[in-house]
Amino acid sequence: MLITDVAEGVHLLQHANVNCWLLEDDDGLTLVDAGLPRTRPHLEKAVATLGHQMSDIRALVLTHAHFDHVGMARGLKKDLQLPVYAHPEEHELAAHPYKYAHESPILKYPLRYPKSLGAVGPMALAGALFVKGIEDVGSFTVGDTLKVPGRPQVIATPGHTFGHVALHLPERDAVITGDALVTLDPYTALVGPRLVAGAATADGNQAAASLDAIAETGAQHVLPGHGNPWDRGAARATEAARRNGMK
């Protein structure tokens, strides 16, 4: 599903409970996060709906390199010679997207939160179990304003993964939070601003501390890696995430 102009020139591609973001300006498109392998035809349709060709995507920027955020990356890089960028601490994970640190056993969550099967089931059907990693990933530095369409500013938000970043779009009053703050936790099926469960979070204390960086953007539009956009401001979103905690 494509939702256009969630913020000015920022478009949401939502498929199998995973979000990708398209940043649009006069230079073309930037894809933020690469969903799952079977998201590819949905991306192609979304790009066409926006009046673009796939060749108008100038870069893929990863908030982090879990399997559900790099699913299309390898194919896009091969087919479009698309440059892919991530924090240096994510490069090893990008190459091996299932080898991630997490605080809690994954298998306990379907038993404790049976509704989560309705969230992770579509992810599995979209190829979540068969993601191929990607190497030869470019780097950025925290504090950079990336020279790609949309000109996102890189903010450090480690904890979910050790090199996780958020992308601030000050001219669009928006912040893309990746999985540093979500409004749907696939592992519990709980909704509302929150941290992702310990099944997929490397360091919960660090993840909670990173909420400060999101709040400090003052952005009206909070754009997560899972769940619906939040339009009531970063401060309220992070306050709610702290209350909800990490399961």
Q: Could you state, in chain order, the average pLDDT of each consecutive group of 10 residues for the chain (247 residues)?
A: 97 98 97 98 98 98 98 97 98 97 90 88 94 96 97 98 98 98 97 96 97 98 98 98 95
Torsion of CA 208, 91, 132, 199, to 10 degrees: -20
CB 154 within 8 A of CB 146: yes
- E strand or H helix at 48: helix 40-49
Domains along the sequence of the chain with CATH: 2-244 (3.60.15.10)
User: Rounded to whole angstroms, how far apart are CA atoms 218 and 222?
Assistant: 10
